[in-house]
Amino acid sequence: MDLLNTLVDKGLRRESPTREEALAVLATSDDDVLDVVAAAGKVRRHWFGRRVKLNYLVNLKSGLCPEDCSYCSQRLGSKAEILKYTWLKPDQASAAAAAGVSGGAKRVCLVASGRGPTDRDVDRVSETIKAIKEQNESVEVCACLGLLSDGQAERLREAGADAYNHNLNTSEATYGDITTTHTYADRVDTVNKAHAAGLSACSGLIAGMGESDEDLVDVVFSLRELDPDSVPVNFLIPMEGTPLAKEWHLTPQRCLRILAMTRFVCPDVEVRIAGGREVHLRTMQPLALHLANSIFLGDYLTSEGQAGHKDLEMIADAGFEVEGTGEVTLPEHRASARSGGCGSHTDGGGCGSHADAGGAGAGGCGSHAGGGVCAPASASTPAPARATEEPRTDLVAVRRRGAGTDLAPNA
């Protein structure tokens, strides 16, 4: 297929595809999905080999968020029967993080529900970061606390944070359909604050919210322009008690096409399969490893994930290997543009052209934990419906173990 050959060539050169080419990937048929995976897999292996980076979530504060993000089980007005608790103490969070690290996680993502942290919250998280680093000096720590105020990103970095996550989630055109309590521009501002502070920026999307192909392409191109080091791709987990929880738009094949499009647009960036892979990719999860080079290990913020040992078995059976703590995730040209590897942002042309989830209220950590779906998509071409795709509500389970409980985590 000429399209795929062109996209592979561009990906190996870190050249952006056109919008039309990105849309064409999403429009390919199920009959062609293996060809699409094979093509995007060449780009993935060129920049990341067969390494898979493992990330582990610690939900520092769960539920009772004042924001109204309609995809989120922690949102204002949510009736989802999730765990609700206030801030974990530093030793509790450190113990939770240690479970993930012992399971093979290289990065720990510290997430807290809410619009954004107060200065006292930043102090609290800073103590948690220090406690984690004291036990595991080599582990990467990513904070995901919502919208940042001036100076807070710098304080997090001084405390030892390596990265900050804040997802765009969907296109600017449809963002107002998802939430009314903050804006798309607010999210962009927080990603820029993380960059400016020298934190490695992590920002991604949620697919399956009723958006059009154009919306998906728009948000991925916007992410390319923002130039994060990692792009988590979440697949909506429709949880009971959240708006439009009965909406199901995704098939395994569509999820693979979305991941492939993201890889072509952001060829040399850490593309992470985040929340919802177990629900929507299901038995086709191993194929997604040919597209993404990073996953979350075990459970998510408020929903259960695949058992940690099953993740490790899947990676090995698919012919991939877990990335070690001594290995640098990013390709050399990107890593060298960051001070110390996870450091300062240098202006460039976006992911793939460097100058070389739901989850946490206004935050997200690339770990969409269930929620409703976005209200009506834009007037552009709607995502194709699949009448044969029955909702798999049996695969959606609320997290009842790990952080905030007395039960051992799933790591």
**pLDDT tens digits for 73-122?**
767 676 777 778 899 999 999 999 999 999 999 999 999 988 999 999 99
* Catalytic choice (14, 69, 124, 399): 69
- Average pLDDT, rounded, for the chain: 87
Distance CA 347, CA 13 (A): 19
Range from 18-32, 155-169, 170-184 carrying the lowest mean pLDDT: 170-184
* Catalytic choice (14, 44, 65, 257): 65
* Catalytic choice (124, 157, 202, 338): 202
Neighbours of 184 (CB within 10 A): 20
Spell out the domains of the chain, with CATH numbers in brackets: 2-395 (3.20.20.70)
pLDDT at 388 over 90: no
Q: What is the pLDDT of residue 344?
A: 41
* Phi/psi of residue 303, nearest 5 degrees: -125, 155
pLDDT digits (tens, 9 = 90+) for 344-369: 444 444 565 433 344 444 445 555 54
* Catalytic choice (44, 72, 124, 266): 72
Range from 257-266, 281-290, 374-383 carrying the lowest mean pLDDT: 374-383
Cβ atoms of residues 357 and 232 within 8 Å: yes
Neighbours of 185 (CB within 10 A): 10
Q: What is the pLDDT of residue 159?
A: 97
Token pair listed for 240: 């009971």
* Catalytic choice (14, 75, 124, 142): 142
Residue 255 annotated as catalytic: no
Q: Which residue has the higher pLDDT, 329 or 301?
A: 329
pLDDT at 284 over 80: yes
pLDDT digits (tens, 9 = 90+) for 294-303: 999 998 887 7
Q: What is the pLDDT of residue 380?
A: 45
Range from 90-104, 234-248, 282-296, 375-389 carrying the lowest mean pLDDT: 375-389
* Catalytic choice (109, 255, 365, 374): 109
Mean pLDDT value across residues 297-320: 92
Q: Which residue has the higher pLDDT, 377 or 279?
A: 279
- Grade residue 336 by pLDDT with cuts at 50, 70 and 90: confident
Residue 351 annotated as catalytic: no
Pairing type for strands 205-207 and 270-273 reads unpaired
| Torsional class of 64: left (φ above 0), alpha (ψ -120 to 50), beta (otherwise) | left
* Catalytic choice (107, 157, 254, 272): 272
Considering the chain, what percentage of its residues have pLDDT values greater than 90? 67
Q: What is the pLDDT of residue 308?
A: 93
Residue 266 annotated as catalytic: no
Token pair listed for 353: 């052209």
Q: Which residue has the higher pLDDT, 158 or 406?
A: 158
Which one, of 89, 384, 407, 90, lies nearest residue 211 by Cα? Answer: 384
End-to-end Cα distance, the chain: 41
Residue 65 annotated as catalytic: yes
Measured on CA atoms in the order 268, 370, 160, 191, is the torsion positive or negative?
positive
- Grade residue 64 by pLDDT with cuts at 50, 70 and 90: confident
Q: What is the pLDDT of residue 300?
A: 83
Count CA atoms within 13 Å of residue 357 on its CB side: 31
- Grade residue 249 by pLDDT with cuts at 50, 70 and 90: confident
Range from 73-87, 219-233, 318-332 carrying the lowest mean pLDDT: 73-87
Highest mean pLDDT pick, 58-62, 244-248, 381-385: 58-62
pLDDT at 241 over 90: no
